[in-house]
Amino acid sequence: MRCLLTLLLALMCGVPAAAAERRPNLIFLYADDLGWGDVSFNGRTDWKTPNLDRLGAQGTVFKRWYTAAPLCAPSRAALMTGKYGIHNGVTANNDELPPDTVTLAQALQKHGYKTALFGKWHHGKPRPGMKEYLNPLDRGFDEFMGFTDAGHAWEQYPKELWFGREKKPVKGYSNTMFTDRAVDFIQRQKDKPFFLYVPYIATHFHIQAPPEDVKEHLGKFKEKDAKNPVNATYAAMVTRLDKEIGRILKTLEELNLTGETMIVFSSDHGATFESGNKGASAYHDSNRPFRGQKRTLWEGGIRVPGLVRWPSHVPSGKISQDIVHMTDVYPTFLAAAGVKLEAGWKVDGINQLPVWEGKEKAPDRTLFWEWRTEGSRQLAAMRGNLKMVVTADNAPELFDLVADPGERRSVIAEHPETAKQMRKELNDWLKTETEEAKWGKKPPRRN
């Protein structure tokens, strides 16, 4: 009877009949400021992330997973829209999505999924014609608890959080509270397909973790101030994040939902070496072996941890060098759910489901990045192993990411025609910037 009801609901919502009985639950677990080298499935040995390692062992680890932007709001907007910032209107940390944007949550909600967000939502300033920013409940989420603005979304021990449209006092560690809500949501939605988005705020500063977690790492690292063991605390933030993810995995196992659930884990961008981090990520070399950090377009800013688990669909124990871009999550999740991607959504990402399932190789394509706010002017384009980076002095460099993952040696002299073509593609891409993305930018940005 339950399968029949699922089939009827799916048909009413426009989901293909063949997909009706196998629509997976979809979970996206998102870290904040977590470096590629902060997880043990990418080689970290100073601490372990056993739950993430288990996810990787039961699924596929993607060594070349790229975020869409080197800062919080643009990277999250790209995830939620499947579009580059120059197309979705969010290229700076204080930009707001246009009100008519169809988010991933809205697309899935429309087709029968229950949707929830527990963690960090990052709104910007209201656009012309908007009285205020739109709450996540207006963006396709049935349930929401967490932060809505960047000004508070680094509070590991917040005094209040949003519960839907109401702000309420809270007490405790934020990432644990997000997991509590996620576990409760899964338990309540176990009989229905759901989309659960958990954007944690670990390891975003403030550098704080529960004392019992910090204690596990005391004495392992050199500290500037023994009374404020920042380096041990950062390690504790990563291992606490892993423990929280373990609680979600345990809940799925207890409810026999593991096989029916696709889980993706990643980070919004690379780790930061900025002052708020107090030197912890620099000390731990969180982005190793890559150059750069948050707010840069070198690999350390945009290559992030990435893995996918969906038993019997995604190969287990596989290490993939296929290139995945964060805008691909939108169309890939929809494909897994049997939802047709509408042309009017103008998604930039591609459906990577056959790649994630190990049936195909990722197609050749040129990917682009731009970071032209906060006084910066950085551009990048990548195709296969070659990546062009253009910084403020407008002198492009070309790197072979396989031979030189640290981007130390430009090979532009060896590939002049390739460099010329990539620069043309990059300039052509910049010309596609929408008026929505140009809104609020003064002075007009140069190409």
Q: Which residues are catalytic?
A: 72, 122
Exposure b/e, 54-78, CB count within 10 A at least 16 = b:
bbbbbbbbbbbbbbbbbbbbbbbbb
> What is the signed CA dihedral for 185, 190, 192, 194, rounded to 10 degrees?
40
Pairing, β 166-169 against β 160-163: antiparallel
**Of 127, 167, 131, 128, whose CA–CA distance to 146 is shortest?**
167
DSSP labels, 413-431: TT-HHHHHHHHHHHHHHHT
Pairing, β 60-66 against β 303-304: antiparallel
Cα→Cα distances 180→15, 118, 242, 266, Å: 31, 9, 14, 20
Helical residues (DSSP H) of 291-349, grouped into ranges:
299-302, 329-337
> Do 147 and 132 meet the contact criterion of CB atoms below 8 Å apart?
no
**Of 288, 207, 203, 284, whose CA–CA distance to 31 is shortest?**
203
What separation, in Å, do the N-terminal and C-terminal C-alpha atoms of the chain show?
A: 58
- The residue with tokens 């900025």 is 274
Residues 6+ apart with CB under 8 A from 62: 306, 307, 308, 320, 322, 324
Supply the angle between the helices 230-254 and 174-188 in degrees, to the nearest 10: 10
Tokens at 181, concatenated: 């809500």
- 175 sits in the region (left: phi over 0; alpha: psi -120 to 50; else beta) called alpha
Tokens at 119, concatenated: 């963690």
DSSP labels, 72-128: HHHHHHHHHHSS-HHHHS--STT----TT---HHHHHHTTT-EEEEEEE----PPPT
Q: Please count the other Cβ atoms lying within 10 Å of the Cβ belonging to residue 223.
A: 16
